[in-house]
Structure 1
Amino acid sequence: MEVGLAADGNSTRLEGKYKAMLVCWLLGIGCLFSWNSMLTIEDYYVNLFPKYHPSRVLTLVYQPFAFITLAVLTYHEAKVNTRKRNLFGYILFFLSTLAVLVLDLATSGKGGIGPFIGVCAISAAFGLADAHAQGGMVGDLSYMQPEFIQSFLAGLAASGAITSGLRMLTKGVFDSSQNGLRKGAILFFAICTIFELLCVVLYAFVFPKLPVVKYYRSKAASEGSKTVSADLAAGGIHSHSEKAGSNSKTAERLTNMQLLTENIDYALDMFLIYLLTLSIFPGFLSEDTGAHSLGSWYAIVLIAMYNVWDLVGRNVPLLKCVKLESRKGMMFAVLARFLLIPAFYFTAKYADQGWMIFLTSFLGLSNGYLTVCVLTSAPKGYKGPEQNALGNILVLFLLGGIFAGVTSDWLWLIGKGW
């Protein structure tokens, strides 16, 4: 089969659609499962490394590696082999998650600066993997059906909800036993390691062979994309990528700067959404909300509520009647979310845990909803290579917002001492 649209293109576009959506959802889970697992066992790391602010430091270590790597990959996006990029990301997720287990077993769960540096190094590896897999997947799915990127984004949120549920389960099972925190964390990462291996298999052998995926990758190649040739080969399609890549369509492709200029509002939306979210979650929720009747369960419940409502928010846009598509409306909603900063401050200072749980839930709901609205609206009206590039650019601004957010999160410590 040569590159180009098949005569029965419409039927091909539908064949395997729901399987592709399921695989995208699972790959979305795998893209953040390892990192969310590390965030969700913060109670274990806070107990193990009480002097080092692990809930803040680990995130601060993670983000520069994710952001800088993605910036480099986005700049060279038109020449990067998408298949190798995404496979590298998922394989690194698997190896890094396994490394968490090995490190804990090798040190017998002891604290100290040595093990903490090891955990920080693994956190950096998670950032490197995230830049490869998340940016690559969003770019790859941006020229396919909107339902695919919706499913992938829902998977990202589902990873948080699943890890929170597992954490509550393991904490409940092991809480009363000796060394219960550590036993729960070990079981937690054992499950995570197996799932990351599943994601490697799904992306390597299942996803590229789905007819609907073959169709859109063939279409992208016919429009001048040089990044999909390995994916086409994995799907059993022999493409003339060199010929397609040298045609006039490639020459007409907008540059990354032109794409950014035309979509600067969408890029700023992504940056500001995650700047706000990460200035509150997880550091502030883990360390600065005071003592309450839930005791050691309090931070776990807050993180779980954020993750569950983030997942709900990412599925709300499936209802067309409530999906926000106005560019001005999105910007207004994103800016209005900054009212949550004083709301969280006064709630932590004066209100009870019920109000904090409510605010945290709204933070997650609005984060998930606006993320999907922006990423499913922005890549329209472009050729496949341009949609891929724009998807990478938007994820770069997303990670930039996260980086700025985790840095801003330290401002909550002003006046509290270290």
Structure 2
Amino acid sequence: MHLALITAGGAGMFCGSCMHDNTLARALRAQGHQVTLIPLYTPIRVDEIDVSEHRVFLGGINVYLAGRWPWWNRLPHWVRGWLDSPAVLRFVSRFAVSSDARELGDLTVALLKGDHGPHREAIAELVAWVATELRPDCVVLSNALLGGVVPLLRQTYRGPVWSLLQGDDIFLNDLVEPYRSQAFAQMRDLMPQFTGFLTHSDYYRQEMSRQLAFPVGQARVVPLGIDFTGHDGQPRRGAQEPFTIGYFARICPEKGLHNLVEAFRRLHARHPHTRLRAAGFLGARDQAWFDQLQRDAADLGPAFEYCGSPPDHAGKVAFLKSLDLFSVPTSYREPKGLSILEAQANGVPVVQPRHGAFPELLEATGGGLLVEPGSAEALAEGLERLLLDNSLRTGLAATGWQRVRESFSMERMARETAAVLQATG
């Protein structure tokens, strides 16, 4: 099978969807499939071998300028083309390219208009390359927000067109009005254009069927998978000193670091030998929020530490291996939960809110506890329970470590994804 996987760059940050798509492409290739991973907007950034195409379609700078100035697309291609260079896009992503939904409402709506919007020329360039040069057996979009390309693609491409669903609603619900309502309406209109959808949890399959108004039977659940290379952490028999709780995710309100800090404050008051370490990408949008969080947590002193964003895979694993417990208590309902799989793959049990995909994941792995969402006290009690009960903590760690390897490998993800796609080929 030749698969064209169209992904969206993360504007210079480590992006969970980009990492997922890159891992899926690598695993499918290892199983004998031909996969072309096509980045849109900006190059992807991952902490493993990047297998994406060098060429970036719908370059973020040109897309932004065309949306602001209608005459921009009338300029000669040689004037605009150099702005799609991966090197230029990487450089500018450090300063100016945003992935914040609150700033991208008009651009989102314009892109969903597809060939009826201001980006017809750029979309036509992508479609021509995929349909007439690449000619894959199947096309998969990383998320349905990219669906504006599908109507034009359908005019020249006769194969199946699928979309992963990896948090589309989170982005949509963060848009300001009137763009939120417009974007939802446009996406619902696009749903019949797709052959089907892939999710990594039954929760998200049901939820997106409801929000985007497509038949639930049109979506298939395939397991999330990670590459275990380098994930060499082992379950510990005893706790470290100091007892360390960790957070690894983007530093932003929606990921819930402030919820964990508040829970940790309560835990630390009862158990002063504990500490909280946080790591992950911190963007300009969230800098002021995080600065305030650090001021609010000043009373914790060195017990709360932000370790920055690990530069590579080895740094991420080293951080995870330094932990006794792990939690990313998201405010939103998580569709995937990649980070909690990575924690368990290194022998670290997790404590997560009982919502989104977390109940399904922890039922499958047995590597952690679920607590009442939105309650700092419930989260503190869950953490405290595992701090005090060494037998329970080590048992969860060992079970999670084993079951993640049995059920959430990138090989299984690729195998089951390919089976779904080939059944419609």
The structure showing larger relative contact order (alpha-carbon pairs under 8 Å, at least 6 residues apart) is 1
TM-score, L = length of structure 1: 0.25
TM-score, L = length of structure 2: 0.24
The structure that is helix-richer by fraction is 1
The structure that is strand-richer by fraction is 2
